[in-house]
Chains A and B, each alone.
Chain A
Amino acid sequence: MAKTVSPGVLALRKVVDDVHADARKAHAEGRLVGWSSSKFPCELAAAFDLDVMYPENQAAGIAANRDGELMCKAAEDLGFDNDICGYARISLAYAAGKRASRKVNLETGEYVINPNSGKPLKDENGNVVIDPETGKPKKDPKTMVPYTVLDDIYEIEALPEGREKELRKAAIKPYRQMQIPQPDFVLCCNNICNCMTKWYENIARMRNIPLIMIDIPYNNTVEVADTNVAYVRAQFDAAIKQLEELTGKKFNEKKFEQACANANRTASAWLRVCDYLQYKPAPYSGFDLFNHMADIVTARAKVEAAEAFELLEKDLAEAVKTGATTTPFPEQYRVMFEGIPCWPKLPNLFKPLKANGVNVTAVVYAPAFGFVYDDLDGMARAYYKAPNSVCIEQGVDWREGICRDNKVDGVLVHYNRSCKPWSGYMAEMQRRFTDDLGVPCAGFDGDQADPRNFNEAQYETRVQGLVEAMEANKAKKEAEAK
């Protein structure tokens, strides 16, 4: 979206690239690599210098790279129902060895280009070049890509050494999320959903590897009771013991404290970055925040992540001074985007918003990853408060807080087929947003990873309806002011 990329954004990109490169290196050198749920206390693994990858983040990346449907279908062929969370399906297919690959001609060794891919070729004046033979626009060969096919690393491994093996290995798509090493252990924290429990059990079974489980039961009150904290604290201790057995190392308290300090620093910087959406007009779009999710998920406990967010903060402070923004249109309306985005359809999500001058200035992800705490009890309390483990009052309070602070005119609610716990009390939330904030809400059906569940026509109609309601609200307020 943004044409110029700020130093902070570049630094954040590098942090994620490095985390992935480190994990690949660790795997290549025979060191352990784990897979972890996004809200597992990463501080614990960091105390053991373990390299950890994050399947949710990976699935989002695979979906954004347009391979979500292929991987979801691969999981369905393994017997996983298409009602199951798209992230889980993508991850389970990946754990089973399935990969999105480029179609390769085994004779010539060349990739087979998909004639339907690519963008229209443009001349020096920016006009589309028409092919005189067909009368249709010519394709820019540089933008054309090979056919995507499904492959299986275990099938490839079983092949005799030789050309086919080498070609198929090399044909696996090169983007980082399709190159994550297979796991040696899994870290599961079900604070975000219970689907996570079964998802990680399945991975543990598929790969015959240890699973370290931190269970965070659903909470019905805004406060986290001491008994609940005690349960989670005890699980931290049990997890540490399991990690000691797994690594053969003693728990390093100093490293743990450093990881906690880093995680707090990252979370605080993340929250301050999120707060820049309060400016009117906002110096960036909430959609940009989605891009930084990878950092807050995969690198929370790393000092580099904290530094990169602090750098981004400086960029934003500068942008506010000069009135610059990365939002490529004048901001007419400000909305909260409720839920996880439809990663395979980001451009489609963005299109009608851009057309109507709607900027996303609030996303629930801001508080969702702002794990800030003082001590171990505080850490247990912080991890108890994930978006899907809190009661409706807490959920509403978080959202209404950012809606007020970030001055939104409306709320766009994603009813996410992949996320039952998230969408489960959304209808009641919508009623409360309208009652408490006086803003209109519009819901649409979509999916975080499976493009088959997104209906673009419905989405556009709903956005249109929301814009009209915001327009009417605005007119009414202006009339009242007069």
Chain B
Amino acid sequence: MSTEVLLKEFKEVSEHPHIVLSEYKKQGKKVIGVLPYYAPVELVVAAGMVPMGIWGSNNKTISMAKEYCATFYCTIAQLALEMLLDGTMDQLDGLITPTICDTLRPMSQNFRVAMKDKLPCIFLAHPQNRKPSFGLQFTVDQYMHVKKELEKISGTTVTDEALREAIKVMNKSRAARREFVKLAGQHPDAVSAVNRSAVLRSAWFMEPAVFAEKLEALNAELKALPECKWTGKKVVTSGIICDNPKLLQIFDDNKIAIAADDVAQESRSFRTDAAETGDPMMALAQQFADQDYEVLLYDEKSNQNRRGEYVANLVKNSGAQGLVLFMQQFCDPEEMEYPYLKKALDAAGVPHIKLGVDQQMRDFGQASTAIQAFADVL
């Protein structure tokens, strides 16, 4: 299949996740909603079910969720609740609710209360002291709980063998995505910013094995392309999420390519693989422990500016000329790390802009002007 056809297929999935969900249900599959961040989707796959990421919505407006949330909460979480309340997610068989940030902590309770009698909510608390042996053990304990709850929904037992297989599938999907990010950065003439996002977003909606196969096919097409003589600019994007096609169209309109990203919904979610040998549950715990340079997670070496320097290096190594930070409104962890990210970027001579975004934004005029002006100075 050609690049265009494959990209079109990913775009279809990305734009219509509910059709994908309905399709899985028609096939008799069980589907588990997975909220941010770092839920071990391997467990869902090993239980023979389909994990479906829920990262809010670019098309909905908060209405019913207001019954639960004050105004000063991240729209990703609020719109996730909105879709659970308004029937969009009625076909789900379960929901995993991680609690790594201060919004998701109480939201886990709102999800559970709001979905009472409707949808089993599987609670997940990750440890911040995740690297020492007691932290690994705590992650294993939590994952065991998730596994048990998933088994209740699937009616199957998750064996070590099945879990090891699921790890292989997810590693394959992650490797394909890492490769794709690299190739998309090298061939912005073939993969627009809008399409790049659609591909990466699809990973949250498609069956992992199917997604990985398809993405490997696309990667093969992209690899075969001649070297791209890009006359536009290249940037690295950073933030929790930047998957709004209207916002990304501004990049394409201004010939700004995304060379790499430090986005939670994108690269931060597939930087780290799990070991395919040994105890698979411990492998997943170790994978979580290995997550690094992450605003949401505790850094044992916090007196250094490791994350800021990592992102600054990412810009330099990817051949980008600057960084665009999408600051999700009301996201404390991102906001708390901004001053030191800025410090590292300034020290490395990397120009950046910070754009405030939320998922209810409909007018991108200001963002457009800012991005255009930024590209001009790069």
Contact = CB atoms under 8 A, between A and B. Distances in A.
Interface residues of A, number: 54
B103 interface: yes
Contacts of A417: 72
Contacts of A205: 302-305, 340
A392 B108 CA distance: 10
A217 interface: yes
A113 B296 CA distance: 46
B338 interface: yes
A391 B109 contact: yes
A122 interface: no
A321 B105 CA distance: 45
Given A234-B132, A427-B69, A421 B302 contact: no
A218 interface: yes
A425 interface: yes
B125 A209 contact: no
B123 A80 contact: no
Given A78-B339, A84-B336, 11 more contacts: A80-B338, A84-B335, A194-B100, A198-B336, A205-B304, A231-B129, A389-B105, A415-B70, A424-B105, A424-B109, A425-B68
B82 to A, nearest CB: 14
A291 to B, nearest CB: 27
Contact of A83 (B72, B100, B295): B72
Interface residues of B, number: 51
Interface of B: 67-70, 72-73, 99-103, 105-110, 112-113, 123, 125-129, 132, 134-135, 137-138, 141, 295, 298-300, 302-305, 327, 329-330, 332-333, 335-340, 342
B336 A88 contact: yes
A342 to B, nearest CB: 15
A425 B330 contact: no
Nearest to B72: A417
Contacts of A388: 102, 105-106
Given A190-B128, A208-B303, A209-B303, A424 B106 contact: yes
Nearest to A453: B72
B125 A220 contact: yes
A215 interface: yes
Nearest to B304: A205
A19 to B, nearest CB: 26
A215 B109 contact: no
Which of A88, A197, A238, A415 counts the most chain B CB atoms within 10 A? A197
Contacts of B299: 201
Contacts of A85: 332
A212 B58 CA distance: 40
Given A195-B336, A201-B302, A420-B73, A218 B141 contact: no
Given A205-B302, A231-B137, A218 B105 contact: yes
Contacts of A195: 102, 332, 336
A220 B123 contact: yes
A125 interface: no
Given A79-B342, A81-B338, A210-B303, A421 B102 contact: yes
A110 to B, nearest CB: 36
A79 B295 contact: no
A420 B102 contact: yes
Contacts of B103: 420, 424
